[in-house]
């Protein structure tokens, strides 16, 4: 008989639409699974939040998603992973397994770099956490990490405006120190950034590998479901449910465009109030 949890969805959360890049890779690998996606757009951006605030948000969203039914939880946000993954795992121990986005990506980058000069584009919170330095020290002890904090990039992407000179200048400005350092690999340390991968590839030029975590996470989700014996049968088509804490229409508009997926109805779910992100930084 099937495990009683097998019919539950996999739950994925992010501060906004960025985690949809992770969801996309999950759908390529696991079209027969159901997914619930939560974008915490009311408290976006996470990238300038304190570790204390991020841990509180992650715990709240973990409980919220578990209450709605989830057989696996994916933290598809690098800032939240950096600040809250260990405490979230402890809090949900025995109830649900939790997957984060930093370790698999560092492993990928370690396998790709030949010069050992690795660039990182990430939010201020993720850079400040030192999580990528630690992960890379494990997977590639010889490599040198060149980290650039990009406070403006996720907000510009999340806003979903037309690509203009401001966004191009922003991307080129963040990439300039990585070009100067001669990195051969750039880690996209925020799940929003794959949404502007063409811009980043043009700014870095040919021959620089761009690493994002989507497929590695999808592989880990598949492995966890298999190990726990809670996979769905492959002869079905999964269904998807989208939730957010802010304006559902704004989420839907940007999400559909970037992910090339009809999102259907996006439902608003209330979360605890929080001061504006920059004030909390």
Listed residue (224, 159, 145) closest to 196, CA to CA: 159
Nearer to its own copies, 39 or 214 (CB): 214
244 is catalytic: no
User: Which residue of 2, 31, 223, 227 would you call a contact of its own copies, by CB under 8 A?
Assistant: 31
27 interacts with its own copies by CB under 8 A:
yes
The H-assigned helical ranges of 118-181 are 124-129, 131-139, 153-159, 165-180
CA distances from 65 to 51, 194, 240, 265, 273 (A): 21, 25, 14, 18, 18
29 interacts with its own copies by CB under 8 A:
yes
6 interacts with its own copies by CB under 8 A:
no
205 interacts with its own copies by CB under 8 A:
yes
72 interacts with its own copies by CB under 8 A:
no
Residue identified by tokens 């802010």 is: 246
265 interacts with its own copies by CB under 8 A:
no
Q: Extract the tokens encoding 251.
A: 């989420």
State how far Cα 81 lies from the chain centre: 8
User: Which residue of 56, 117, 201, 281 would you call a contact of its own copies, by CB under 8 A?
Assistant: 201
8 Å CB contact between 46 and 79: yes
Measured CA to CA, the distance from residue 31 to residue 14 in angstroms comes to 20
Compute the least distance from the CB of residue 218 to its own copies, in Å: 8
Helix (H, G, I), strand (E, B) or coil at 139: helix
8 Å CB contact between 186 and 210: yes
The distance between the two most distant Cα atoms of the chain, rounded to a whole number of Å, is 58
Burial classification of residue 116, based on how many CB atoms lie within 10 Å of its CB (0-12 exposed, 13-18 middle, 19 or more buried): middle
* String of contacts with its own copies for each residue 156-195, x by CB under 8 A: ------xxxx--x---------------------------
Nearer to its own copies, 141 or 207 (CB): 207
* String of contacts with its own copies for each residue 206-235, x by CB under 8 A: x-----------x-----------------
202 interacts with its own copies by CB under 8 A:
yes
Nearer to its own copies, 87 or 215 (CB): 215
8 Å CB contact between 127 and 99: no
261 interacts with its own copies by CB under 8 A:
yes
77 is catalytic: yes
Active site residues: 77, 190
Contact residues toward its own copies (CB under 8 A) are 24, 27-29, 31, 162-165, 168, 196, 198-199, 201-202, 205-206, 218, 256-257, 259-262
């Amino acid at each position: 008989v099937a495990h009683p949890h097998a019919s539950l969805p996999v739950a994925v959360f992010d501060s906004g639409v960025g985690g949809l890049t992770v969801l996309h890779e999950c759908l390529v690998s696991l079209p027969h699974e159901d997914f619930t996606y939560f974008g915490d757009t009311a408290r976006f951006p996470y990238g300038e939040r304190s570790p204390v605030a991020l841990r509180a948000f992650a715990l709240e969203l973990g409980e919220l998603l578990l209450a709605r039914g989830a057989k696996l939880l994916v933290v598809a946000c690098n800032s939240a992973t950096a600040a809250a993954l260990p405490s979230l795992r402890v809090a949900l121990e025995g109830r649900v397994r939790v997957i984060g986005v930093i370790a698999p990506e560092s492993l990928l980058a370690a396998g790709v770099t030949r010069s050992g000069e690795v660039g990182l584009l990430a939010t201020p919170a993720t850079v400040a956490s030192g999580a990528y330095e630690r992960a890379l020290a494990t997977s590639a002890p010889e490599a040198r990490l060149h980290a650039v904090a990009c406070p403006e990039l996720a907000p510009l992407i999340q806003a979903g405006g037309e690509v203009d000179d401001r966004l191009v200048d922003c991307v080129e400005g963040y990439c300039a120190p990585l070009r100067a350092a001669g990195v051969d690999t750039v880690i996209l340390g925020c799940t929003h950034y794959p949404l502007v991968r063409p811009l980043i590839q043009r700014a870095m030029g040919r021959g620089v590998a761009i690493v994002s975590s989507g497929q590695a996470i999808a592989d880990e989700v598949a492995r966890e479901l298999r190990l726990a014996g809670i996979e769905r049968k492959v002869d079905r088509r999964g269904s998807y449910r989208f939730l957010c804490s802010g304006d559902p229409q704004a989420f839907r508009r940007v999400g559909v465009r970037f992910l090339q997926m009809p999102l259907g109805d996006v439902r608003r779910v209330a979360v605890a109030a929080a001061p504006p992100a920059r004030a909390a930084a």
